[in-house]
Amino acid sequence: MTETIKLSKTVVLKSIPLTRTKIKIIENTIEVYKEILTIALDFGLKNNTKGHIKIRKGIYGEIKNKYPKLPTHYIYTASQDASTRIKSFISIKKRGRAYTKIPKIKRASLWLDDILFNYKDFKTNIEKLFSMDKKGKRTLHLRLSTPNGRIVIPLKPHKLFFKLINEGWKIKAGFKLILNKVDGTVKVLIPLEKEITINDNYKAVYALDFNLDNITYGNFENIEMIKTNLGKLTEKYSNIAIKIQEKFSFKCIHKQEKPLKRKGIILLKKFGRRLKNIREDKLKKFANDIAKELKEKDAILIIEDLSSYFNQNIAKKSFKKIKHKLHNISAKKFLEILKNKCLEFGVKVVEVNPSYTSILCPNCGNRLSQLYKLAEYKLADERALPSRLMYCFDCGFYADRDTIAVFNLIKRFLGCFRSARSPMNSQGRDW
């Protein structure tokens, strides 16, 4: 049995430095676009509508009067843009994170639908769009409709772009164009799509367990462990975050609710982004290697159900809380990246409910004990490796937590692990 799914991705191409005339035309187009976007936002907010069709109908006459030479489709895309912005503004407002009364247009990238440039050629006849520049390098020609007529923008395709096209990724409409006034170039964001056939005739069942320090995956015969070092990175970030929070909170009577000053939020975001990038690069590489290996082994992959994150009880201490939260974010992120990578390679992924998978014995199903918590094994440093070692007093099975999770996830997939809903039989053991 096979199953077909669609994956999407965005690739960015930069243009060669453009002539001053072209830059001016693009700048002007963006200005006009911003203006339409502002009008569209106003209309949507005043009339309490976030649907792009209603917005478009509402502003069409006014815009056509004001800019008779403007290609009509900019009104379509600006209305869609406005609709998206209103929707995301409403959700930000709900979370209490909106600092302005109306959505502000900080950056406007030009949204292009298929009529506003030579999309058909991009889709079906891309070879025709290539030509050589003066230095003998291949450029890819985007023809853009503007209020001043059509202009040609030569883009510099890169290795990744060709690789994706060769791998069967198809170019979709809905390009976005961003102007860089500093170096006189534009960036074009190109959405891609690929149909993947997932093979259900697997030869091996693998499961994977993620925690900040290591990724454990394998089956009953073979377990692999990758050290991630993300725990250290997270700890470093947590310490910075705590310092920022201490320094930039308003003083309040209630300790639990200390709102953060604007500056603090900006700093938190900055450090958060930096560490997020490092983390994501690492996770992507791990995911790619694992997906490739599973493909070679003709395996199916079992992971924890992604929705299980964020529902778990969070530890009370603040460091633990942040660490726990970050662990969940990383785990969710990693499993998402991995899932996508696997799909790209045609490896089937099955999500199963993870409850009890790290505390019950994969051998006999009874509760496991954490060795370090028992008096005779008590260690000074709780985070030393043995703390992850679990022991079964009923059958003598022992292994580290992650390996146990891998075994139990496979067993749950095979239907031979206790059901997620059955009540726990706690026997008052210190585990």
**Pair 11, 187: CB distance under 8 Å:** no
- CB of 333: closest distance to Zn ion in angstroms? 33
Q: How far is it, in rounded angstroms, from Cα 372 to Cα 105?
A: 55
Applying CB under 5 A, the site for Zn ion has a residue count of: 7
Determine if 404 is a binding residue for Zn ion (CB under 5 A).
no
Q: Which is nearer to Zn ion, 149 or 396 (CB)?
A: 396
Sign of CA dihedral 266, 271, 273, 276: negative
The residue type of 167 is: E
Q: How far is it, in rounded angstroms, from Cα 334 to Cα 350?
A: 15
Determine if 315 is a binding residue for Zn ion (CB under 5 A).
no
- CB of 390: closest distance to Zn ion in angstroms? 10
**Pair 86, 45: CB distance under 8 Å:** yes
Q: Which is nearer to Zn ion, 23 or 359 (CB)?
A: 359
Q: How far is it, in rounded angstroms, from Cα 241 to Cα 245?
A: 6
Q: Which is nearer to Zn ion, 180 or 363 (CB)?
A: 363
**Pair 18, 153: CB distance under 8 Å:** yes
Q: Which of 98, 144, 99 is nearest to 121 (CA)?
A: 144
Q: Which is nearer to Zn ion, 90 or 364 (CB)?
A: 364
Q: Which is nearer to Zn ion, 210 or 407 (CB)?
A: 407
Q: Which of 102, 106, 122 is nearest to 114 (CA)?
A: 122
Determine if 252 is a binding residue for Zn ion (CB under 5 A).
no
List the x/- string, 62-91, binding to Zn ion by CB under 5 A: ------------------------------
- CB of 360: closest distance to Zn ion in angstroms? 8
Q: Which is nearer to Zn ion, 234 or 408 (CB)?
A: 408
Q: Which is nearer to Zn ion, 330 or 357 (CB)?
A: 357
Q: Which is nearer to Zn ion, 338 or 392 (CB)?
A: 392
- CB of 219: closest distance to Zn ion in angstroms? 19
Bridge partners (DSSP) of residue 156 are 14
Q: Which is nearer to Zn ion, 96 or 428 (CB)?
A: 428
Pick one of 356, 397, 398, 431: the residue that binds Zn ion (CB under 5 A): 397
Q: How far is it, in rounded angstroms, from Cα 345 to Cα 364?
A: 35
Q: Which is nearer to Zn ion, 315 or 364 (CB)?
A: 364
21-28's contacts with Cβ under 8 Å and 24+ in sequence apart are: 22/151, 22/153, 23/179, 23/181, 23/184, 25/146, 25/148, 25/151, 26/110, 26/144, 26/146, 26/151, 26/177, 26/179, 26/186, 27/179, 27/181, 28/146, 28/147, 28/148
Pick one of 82, 392, 405, 406: the residue that binds Zn ion (CB under 5 A): 392
Sign of CA dihedral 260, 261, 267, 270: positive
Determine if 394 is a binding residue for Zn ion (CB under 5 A).
yes
Which range, of 138-146, 185-193, 197-205, 392-400, touches Zn ion by CB under 5 A? 392-400
Which range, of 206-214, 273-281, 320-328, 396-404, touches Zn ion by CB under 5 A? 396-404
Paired sense of beta strands 204-210 and 299-304, if any: parallel
Which range, of 14-22, 102-110, 291-299, 386-394, touches Zn ion by CB under 5 A? 386-394
Pinpoint the alpha helices (H) of 204-296: 230-247, 262-296
- CB of 423: closest distance to Zn ion in angstroms? 19
- CB of 225: closest distance to Zn ion in angstroms? 22
Which range, of 85-93, 348-356, 388-396, 410-418, touches Zn ion by CB under 5 A? 388-396
Pick one of 395, 414, 416, 424: the residue that binds Zn ion (CB under 5 A): 395
Contact positions with Zn ion (CB under 5 A) in 317-376? 361, 363-364
Contacting residues toward Zn ion, per CB under 5 A: 361, 363-364, 392, 394-395, 397
